[in-house]
Amino acid sequence: MATVARDPASPQLPAIVPAASLDVAALWKDPAIRYGLKFGIAGVTAVFIALVIRLDMPGWALLTVFVLMSAQYVGAIAEKSIYRFAGTVVGGVAGYLLVGSLEQDPLVFIPLIGLVVAASTAMFGQSRYPYAFFLCGMTTLVVASNGMKDPANSWMFMTSRIQEVFIGILVVLVVQSVIWPRYARVEFIDNLHAAFGDLRTCFLDALCRTGEAQPGAVRAQDFPARITGLRTLLEFGARESQHFRVRLDIYYGLTACLGKIAYAIGTLRERLPDDSLYRKHAGKEIDAVHAALAGALEDLEGSGSSPASRQAARAELESSFHGIDGAFLGMRTRHLVKDVPASEAMTIGLHVLALDEMRAQILEAHALLESLHARSDGTEKSPRSFAPPLPPRFWVRTGIKSGLAMVVALAIDNWLHPPGGPMFVLGAWLFTALNAASPGGQGDRRAFHLIPLSVAGLAALSLLLAATSPMLSSYAVMNTLIFCFLFVWGFLSFRTRGMTIPMQASMLILVGILGLNGQRPVDFQAISGLFFGLVLGLTLSSLFQRLLWPSLPQWEIRDRLLEVVGICRSLLAREPLPLWTRARLALIPSEVAARLPHLSPPICPNDEIPRLSALMRTLVRIGGNLALTLDRIQIPPPEAADGKLLLADLERKLALGLANLQLGIGGTSADPLDETPLRQAVQALHSWMAETRLEMIARDCPPIESARLAGFCERYALLAADLLEAHQTFSRLRLPLYMGDYSL
């Protein structure tokens, strides 16, 4: 029996540890257990303070703990706290003003509340200041739904809400900063070193000459997602330390070096033939370059990397590349180069180009590391945001859906006064706003299926509450219940990295139970109000989720395939892309991977999932190669005119192929791709490169220069091959079979 031990800060696969080796000390150090303990301490403390100073609704302080504790780094907590308090104040004032002035006119009042909540939800999804918008919408809703029955005293709900939130913020800040604090800047440095080590492993695996597959090259193509995680740590770390913040551009440059090294390793997909002349006459020199690059990456992996060790690594790199240049020059002197087939010359050119790019990025990383100590603390750099200024379409639709659900709930509450009205309104909004974005990739597909399960579970809970509610008057029992619940909730949320649908419901249940206030007799009507409020909120939310722009796995996968093709087309057209758009190439594969398991039969055929996965991998590879190749090829003057014309012609055909693929994925009828023009363009480029190579040899051009040119031409050929592979994979897909909504 083995147990999975996982470091949440590292994107590596879990390590398998024998169960016998896990002891109490190891469990005590488990980050998920520590996080659960911190969660419980923060929740109990917030409720205790709220009760001591006799605030009316301690559940709101507890709700603040739920939201803020999801940010596990000290820097992120500070930011979320500021945004949460600002959003709470703005939302509280907005709710008070709307209730006080317009409550008597429901036809104006309710749509205005819906507009505020819809806009706040949509802006929550754009992630620059998400919690400010989220809390603005939530506080507006809470003040409006509670104050609607007593408009004259709605200011009391506003002030109480602000006080409770402030207590929750203060408690979370202290707990996260004092008890096992996590600093993003420290984890960034550790993960940066580990990333260089993982690249070294990928590089050595890619050089393996046994078999046809190159697992290292394939794993390197998945590396951008890890770099995105590093840059997220950068954003949090910048809020923790002035010393770290003024060096932010240096650290960002180091992550860029990682990305370019990973892309270079990802192109090491072709192997030299075993009888290659290059292996015979330059094999030792090529192996020396491999060893020098691996050694330099190993030095960057270690925390003990120093100016002296980096200087030694640079000297070894320079010596090894001089050796490979000398070996190529010797082959030319002995007139051996002309005997090398053009295809083999292209392969070795691609290999040498990748090695040279790795060397350039390692030297750039060295220069950045050397500049860390020279940077003065006077220049401050703002963190680069990975979020667009406006919300994407998904969150615009989610904002509209959740706003409409809240409007209907508020209208029903104002008209029929069902039991648990405030919880009904809050649940209708919260479930609609967050369910589609919950982890796991399920989306809205099983929204209706959850209703009977939730009714049964809530009914059992209500009966249990009716039987045990007198026990809640004991502070010991109440605090124990809160702590245990929060510990489990924190442990699970740490593992899932998000709030699942059951966790959303359980959060509202705990807040609702605390709102019953066991210090006074809890009657059955109060318990039934909690039950009906949650059930009605979930039911209404499910209707809006499934009937208005539902988020289904198959549709989300199709949209992300279209998004990747669109990014590739923009790269090929050399359009300036903002940082958040380029970062999407790294994020989309994991989003698709989370949704693929939900397409099991009978939704789609068995063999469809691996084809979708293969298509996504190929498209991301195209995007990576485009980012690495375009505008970097240097053609010597005598051949520049013809070469640029051939490259422009090939790029036009690549653009047409991408446009054709985008139409097909989008469901528009498109003619099958004619492969002949694309293959002819690649063949023309190969023929031109073969002639140019001989002319460069005749002019005694540096061997490394001709190898780079051949490598770039081969990269263009790989782009064409990947595009043809994407079309072939897409032609075997059966998207129309499962693009309908079959889960109703």
Give the C-alpha separation, 95 to 457, whole Å: 33
pLDDT tier at 662, thresholds 50, 70, 90? very high
**pLDDT band for position 657 (cuts 50, 70, 90):** very high
Pairing mode of beta strands 2-5, 15-18: antiparallel
Q: What length does the chain have?
A: 744
pTM comes to 0.82
| Residue 50 binned pLDDT confidence (cut-offs 50, 70, 90) | confident
Neighbour-count burial of 449, counting CB atoms closer than 10 A to its CB (0-12 exposed, 13-18 middle, 19+ buried):
exposed
pLDDT tens for 198-217 read: 889 888 888 875 444 455 55
Q: What are the beta bridge partners of residue 395?
A: none
Residue closest to 577 by CA, chosen among 589, 588, 587, 568: 568
Q: Over the stretch 90-135, which tens digit does the pLDDT of each residue have?
A: 888 888 888 877 777 888 888 888 999 999 998 887 756 777 888 8
pLDDT value, residue 211: 43
Beta bridge partners of 2: 18
What residues have CB less than 8 Å from 282, skipping those under 6 apart? 324, 327, 328, 331
Distance in angstroms between the alpha carbons of the first and the last residue of the chain: 41
ω before 602 within 30° of 0 (cis)? yes
Distance CA 499, CA 502 (A): 8
Phi, psi of 5 (to 5 degrees): -110, 130
Residue type, 401: K
pLDDT in tens, 598-640: 887 777 888 899 999 999 989 988 988 888 888 788 888 887 8
Confidence bin at 13 (pLDDT 50/70/90)? very low
Cross-strand pairs, 16: 4
The pLDDT of residue 290 is 92
Q: How far apart are CA 527 and CA 523, in angstroms?
A: 7
Which of the pair, 318 or 693, is modelled with greater confidence?
318
Grouping H, G, I as helix, E, B as strand and the rest as coil, residue 220 is helix
Cα separation values, 124 from 84, 198, 522, Å: 12, 35, 36
Per-residue pLDDT, 404:
94
Strand partners, 17: 3
Note the pLDDT of residue 10. Answer: 37
pLDDT, tens only, 710-734: 889 989 999 999 999 999 999 998 8
For residue 120, count other CB atoms closer than 10 A to its CB: 29
CB atoms under 10 Å from CB of 126, counted, come to 19
Average pLDDT rounded to a whole number, residues 232-242? 73
Taking CA 285 as the corner, what is the angle to CA 283 and CA 289, rounded to the nearest 5 degrees? 115
Cα-Cα-Cα-Cα dihedral of 348, 351, 354, 356, to 10°? -60
Contact of 678 with 723, CB cutoff 8 Å: yes
pLDDT of residue 517: 64
Q: How far is CA 297 from CA 196, 354, 670, in A?
A: 6, 15, 46
| pLDDT above 90: residue 561 | yes
Task: Output the pLDDT for position 297.
Answer: 93
Contact 532, 462 (CB under 8 A): no
The chain-wide mean pLDDT, for the chain, equals 81
Q: How far from 630 is each of 341, 594, 715, CA to CA, in Å?
A: 26, 31, 10
Placement of tokens 């020396």 in the chain:
288
Read out DSSP for 556-609? HHHHHHHHHHHHHHHHHTT----HHHHHHHHHHHHHHHHHGGGG-TTSS-TTHH
Closest by CA to 88, choosing from 37, 161, 147, is: 161
Could you give the 3-state DSSP secondary structure of residue 183?
coil
Domains along the chain with CATH numbers: 25-182+387-547 (no CATH), 184-239+247-372 (1.20.58), 560-737 (1.20.58)
pLDDT number for residue 148: 72
Would the pLDDT of 363 be above 90? Answer: yes
pLDDT at 682: 93
- What band does 20 get if pLDDT is binned at 50, 70 and 90? very low
Most confident listed range (20-24, 147-151, 174-178): 174-178
Confidence of residue 179 (pLDDT cuts 50, 70, 90): confident
Mean pLDDT over residues 398-418, rounded? 90
Paired tokens of 523: 């009657």
Nearest Cα neighbor of 416 from 555, 296, 532, 582 is: 532
Q: For 506-522, write each residue's pLDDT tens digit.
A: 777 777 777 666 556 66
DSSP labels for 515-535? HH-TTS---HHHHHHHHHHHH
Q: Which of 3-7, 62-66, 739-743 has the lowest mean pLDDT?
A: 3-7
The label of the residue with tokens 């490394």 reads 704
Closest CA to 398 of 507, 538, 584, 551: 551
